[in-house]
Amino acid sequence: MSDFLNDIIEQSTKEDPAFPRKVEAALDHRRRLRERAAARVAADLSPTKLAAAAGTSQSQIARAESGDVDVRLSTVARIAAVLGKRLEWTLVDTPDPT
């Protein structure tokens, strides 16, 4: 029996060999969004309080946590600092999908 999702992935990879890396990048992005939201909750900060402390708007925090916007790195760094965190950004090689 065929798996619909696997079929889509296989077809998409045929059309774009970089597709698996793009999927992995999207999953990493979603994980980071969840980590930031969890850190805010753990710090007992509302989106409004976090926004004020980070010098941005509550709506920007909400959009950032939902993934609706591509947040500037400087904004993420300010949010991290308010949460008692440090932002680390590293470029690493990814395995060739072929």
Q: Rounded mean pLDDT of the chain?
A: 90
Q: Tell me the helices (H) and strands (E) count for the chain, helix number first.
A: 5, 0
Expressed as residue numbers, the domain containing 50 is 4-82
In a domain, 92, yes or no: no
Residues in CB range of 24: below 8 A, 6 or more apart: 94
Supply the pLDDT for residue 55: 96
CATH of the domain at 48: 1.10.260
pLDDT at 94 exceeding the cut of 90: no
In a domain, 61, yes or no: yes
pLDDT digits (tens, 9 = 90+) for 24-64: 888 998 999 999 999 999 999 999 999 999 999 999 999 98
In a domain, 17, yes or no: yes
In a domain, 94, yes or no: no
pLDDT bucket at 85, cuts 50 / 70 / 90? very high
pLDDT digits (tens, 9 = 90+) for 17-35: 999 889 988 899 899 999 9
In a domain, 87, yes or no: no
In a domain, 45, yes or no: yes
Identify the residue whose tokens are 């993420």: 76
In a domain, 91, yes or no: no
> Count of domains in the chain?
1
